Structure 1
Amino acid sequence: MLIFDHLGITVADLPHAIAQFDPVLTALGFSRHDADGSVSWQRDDEPELILFPARETGTGPHRHGQVGWQHLAFAVESRAEVDRLHEIAMDAGWSAVRDPKEYPRFTDRYYASFVEDSSGIRIEFMHNPPREP
């Protein structure tokens, strides 16, 4: 049984957030499910990611480093996949926080990019293969 069932994220503008999240999550193999007042994506038996509109206007954007959300990392199969997803996010209107590069401070194999949407939600695309024996 999975420990995490779903992740709910509050966004400032739901239609705009859908336009930003949908290309990225679709490229990751998630299926979209629209509901009244929210939208979600799910892949196989993995946790569901749900976007909700903010209850009050003017409460965003989220500021990275403040109490609350930090970022969500998507582990992918290759450096090329990190690069591909980064470009998809850029084309969908995300802002690059850090372009794809190596992060030797994590491991000598860690390669990642970080992007933020218009609500200040940060995600990471990362590839960190196991160390070869």
Structure 2
Amino acid sequence: MPVLDHLGITVTDLTRGIAQFDPVLKALGFEWEGAKADSAAWYRDGETEIIVFAPREDDAQPHVHGRVGWQHLAFAVDSREEVDRMHAIATDAGWSAVREPKLYPRFSERYYASFVEDDAGIRIEFMHNPPKDDA
């Protein structure tokens, strides 16, 4: 059983959110489930679901990093090259680079990551941190 069953994320504009999340999630192995009037969903391995929701308010404002609530979601990938590839896919889909791919020795001498943020202020990380024996 997966630790994470599903994650729901409200974006400021559903159409734009789908356009930004779709290439990233597909590159991470998620399959498009489809869209409804107020949401869209992707599944991975038939178990883990990521859902993007339309806002419930007409004047929804983007999330601001550092405020109470969401900070970021980190996706673990298999290599530094995969971090670079995912970062490029995200920025090509309209995500803004918050931090370019690089080593983060404050976490470990093996921790390599990048951070991107979408139009709604949602931040994700692509990271590779192999076990010490595999480094």
Once the 2 structures are TM-superposed, how far is the Cα of residue 45 of structure 1 from its aligned partner? 4.6
Equivalent residue for 1:12?
A: 12
Quick one: distance in 2 between partners of 1:104 and 1:45? 35
Equivalent residue for 1:86?
A: 87
Once the 2 structures are TM-superposed, how far is the Cα of residue 115 of structure 1 from its aligned partner? 0.2
Once the 2 structures are TM-superposed, how far is the Cα of residue 42 of structure 1 from its aligned partner? 1.1
Matches within 5 A, 1:14-93: 14-36=14-36, 37-93=38-94
Quick one: distance in 2 between partners of 1:45 and 1:76? 19
Once the 2 structures are TM-superposed, how far is the Cα of residue 5 of structure 1 from its aligned partner? 1.3
Quick one: distance in 1 between partners of 2:47 and 2:125? 17
Indicate the SS of the match to 2:69. coil
Gapped runs of 5+ residues in structure 1?
none
**TM-score (ref. length: structure 1):** 0.95
- Stretch deviating more after TM superposition (20-29 or 33-42): 33-42
Once the 2 structures are TM-superposed, how far is the Cα of residue 107 of structure 1 from its aligned partner? 0.6
Quick one: distance in 1 between partners of 2:94 and 2:82? 18
Q: State the identity as a percent.
A: 68
How has the CA–CA distance of structure 1 residues 81 and 46 changed in structure 2, closer, same or farther, with 3 Å as cutoff? farther
Deviation readout 1:85-107 (Å, 9 max, x if unpaired): 00011100000000000000001
Equivalent residue for 2:118?
A: 117
- Stretch deviating more after TM superposition (55-64 or 104-113): 55-64
Once the 2 structures are TM-superposed, how far is the Cα of residue 24 of structure 1 from its aligned partner? 0.6
- Stretch deviating more after TM superposition (64-73 or 1-10): 1-10
The answer on whether the counterparts of 1:109 and 1:128 sit within 8 Å (CA) in structure 2 is yes
Once the 2 structures are TM-superposed, how far is the Cα of residue 33 of structure 1 from its aligned partner? 1.0
Aligned structure 1 segments of 4 or more residues deviating by more than 4 angstroms: none
Gapped runs of 5+ residues in structure 2?
none
The answer on whether the counterparts of 1:110 and 1:127 sit within 8 Å (CA) in structure 2 is yes
**TM-score (ref. length: structure 2):** 0.94
Deviation readout 1:66-124 (Å, 9 max, x if unpaired): 01111000000000000000001110000000000000000110000000000000000
